[in-house]
């Protein structure tokens, strides 16, 4: 197979729909452009929102974009925990959701640096194997704990046990882990920003020149 083209080169912002994997989105863009294509962070299949893709020669710039902070909007169902921390898992625990006053107190514990186990259904490697593959095989493993940084966390609504949260977090923060620690699971998850790049700019046909994208990181 011939090497993938180094052009067009630049950054592509995509609004991922629910359903396909991030890798399927990358593959679709690669087929359309014919260029080498990578990403600066994935979203779970059920999640929607901003993906930052790198095309052509710009793929070498991936390290500059991988560690950017991110903003999300999520709905967390606080009446049940699931095996995956999201709506696609099996319910493993049901309970009465907290009162709003109690929820406010709980949320305070998740602002700043928070140590939480990485979800079992994640792409982290355990003894050389992706954790989500082990999870699908029913193999229970002790997931590593990661320090996640929650810069902002705002309760935007609470109704019938479902909390709508807006968060600004560090790269590598799993919102499913936060949802599980709160005693619930993510019913929806949408990424709205990656560093200085906004969902409002998403256009799979538009390629931002590398120099323009890098200038925003200054």
Q: In this structure, are 129 and 207 located in the same domain?
A: no
Mean pLDDT of the chain: 91
Asked whether residue 123 carries a pLDDT value surpassing 70, the answer given is no
Asked whether residue 1 carries a pLDDT value surpassing 50, the answer given is no
Coil, strand, or helix at residue 135?
Answer: helix
Q: In this structure, are 80 and 60 located in the same domain?
A: no
Distance CA 187, CA 215 (A): 36
Annotated catalytic residue, options 44, 77, 86, 180: 44
CA 110, chain centre distance (Å): 17
Q: What percent of the chain has pLDDT over 90?
A: 81
96 is catalytic: no
Range of the domain at 116: 70-193
pLDDT digit string (tens) for 135-189? Answer: 566 666 666 788 999 999 999 999 999 999 999 999 999 999 999 999 999 999 9
* pLDDT number for residue 126: 61
**HSE on the CB side for 92, CA within 13 Å?**
12
Q: In this structure, are 128 and 77 located in the same domain?
A: yes
* pLDDT number for residue 134: 55
End-to-end CA distance of the chain: 38
Asked whether residue 199 carries a pLDDT value surpassing 50, the answer given is yes
- pLDDT (mean) for 68-79: 98
Q: In this structure, are 177 and 96 located in the same domain?
A: yes
Q: Is residue 176 part of a domain?
A: yes
Q: In this structure, are 15 and 105 located in the same domain?
A: no
Q: Is residue 3 part of a domain?
A: no
Structural domain total, the chain: 2
Q: Is residue 2 part of a domain?
A: no
Q: In this structure, are 21 and 76 located in the same domain?
A: no
Task: Say which residue, 97 or 4, is predicted with more confidence.
Answer: 97
């Amino acid at each position: 197979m011939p090497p993938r083209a180094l052009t067009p080169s630049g950054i592509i912002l995509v609004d991922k729909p629910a359903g396909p994997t991030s890798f399927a989105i990358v593959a679709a863009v690669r087929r359309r452009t014919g260029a080498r294509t990578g990403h600066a962070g994935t979203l779970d299949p059920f999640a929607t929102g901003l993906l930052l893709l790198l095309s052509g020669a710009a793929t070498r710039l991936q390290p500059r974009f991988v560690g950017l902070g991110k903003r999300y909007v999520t709905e967390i169902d606080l009446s049940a925990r699931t095996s995956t921390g999201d709506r696609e898992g099996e319910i493993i625990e049901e309970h009465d959701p907290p009162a709003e006053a109690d929820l406010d107190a709980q949320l305070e514990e998740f602002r700043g640096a928070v140590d939480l186990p990485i979800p079992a259904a994640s792409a982290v490697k355990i003894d050389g194997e992706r954790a989500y593959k082990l999870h699908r095989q029913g193999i229970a493993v002790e997931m590593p704990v990661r320090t996640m940084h929650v810069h902002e966390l705002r309760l935007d609504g609470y109704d019938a046990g479902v909390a709508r949260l807006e968060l600004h977090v560090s790269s590598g923060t799993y919102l499913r882990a936060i949802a599980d620690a709160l005693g619930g699971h993510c019913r929806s998850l949408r990424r709205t920003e990656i560093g200085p790049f906004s969902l409002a700019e998403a256009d799979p046909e538009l390629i931002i020149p590398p120099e323009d994208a890098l200038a925003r990181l200054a």
